[in-house]
Amino acid sequence: MVRVEVAMDFIDEKIEEYAFDHTSYEGDLLEQLEEETYEKLEIPQMTTGRIEARLLKLLARLVGAKRILEIGTFAGYSALSMAEALPEEGELVTCEIDPEAIIFAKKYFNLSPHGKKITLMEGSALESLRKISGPFDMAFIDADKENYSNYYEAILPLIRSGGLIAIDNVLWSGRVLDPKDKSDKAIHQLNERVIRDERVESVLLTVRDGLNCIVKN
């Protein structure tokens, strides 16, 4: 089964299908992972999907990543995608609090030849971050939105100069234009924080639900 990604209503469906069809295939294991995610996990659309995950892998290759930090493992799709870009001795540290997602992701980490590069830290990501030492070459944030600014500030000191932070869902289905609830406001505040931060340079991409790509000066 080929699953075309949901474009969060920003892009015409036919254009999104065209982009999906002209993005490199993720491989049988990740395709199986995504299919099973939709069958077994709640809110399966939280999975990264082909287009964004292939972009994350490409970004990891471009920065020459040897160490990657991820906040929000969910099903493990993005972690395995980025791990593909790491050298054999590379390391990806990913943080997840949901027990169901942890069991699911570990299953696929064990099935992948890249799973040996991944360390999954269970529990609160903010608590895990206090135990983690840098430097990292890249970080990916896709977790509870109300803590986005906290994650950003905790991760930035762990990133090397020239390293990359990618933050997902920063357009939040357009709700950042008129933020009302706590998540809306938290994401908007994060975007405002980043664009005013002289420690970094950033570009906000309209990929899926928005991806803020931030390079540390």
* pLDDT tens-digit readout, 92-120: 999 999 999 999 999 999 999 999 999 99
* Residues 26-71: tens digit of each pLDDT: 999 999 999 999 999 988 988 888 999 999 999 999 999 999 999 9
Secondary structure tally for the chain: helices H, strands E? 8, 7
- What is the rounded average pLDDT for all residues in the chain? 94
Taken in order of first residue, the domains within the chain and their CATH numbers are: 13-216 (3.40.50.150)
Q: Where does residue 93 fall: left (phi above 0), alpha (psi -120 to 50 degrees), or beta otherwise?
A: beta
Would you state the pLDDT for residue 5?
A: 45
136-141/67-71 β-pairing: parallel
Q: Are 138 and 165 in contact (CB under 8 A)?
A: yes
Distance, CA of 129 to chain centre: 16
Total number of residues shown for the chain: 217
Give yes or no for residue 136 having a pLDDT over 80: yes
pLDDT attached to residue 10: 62
Taken in order 54, 204, 120, 93, the sign of the CA dihedral is positive
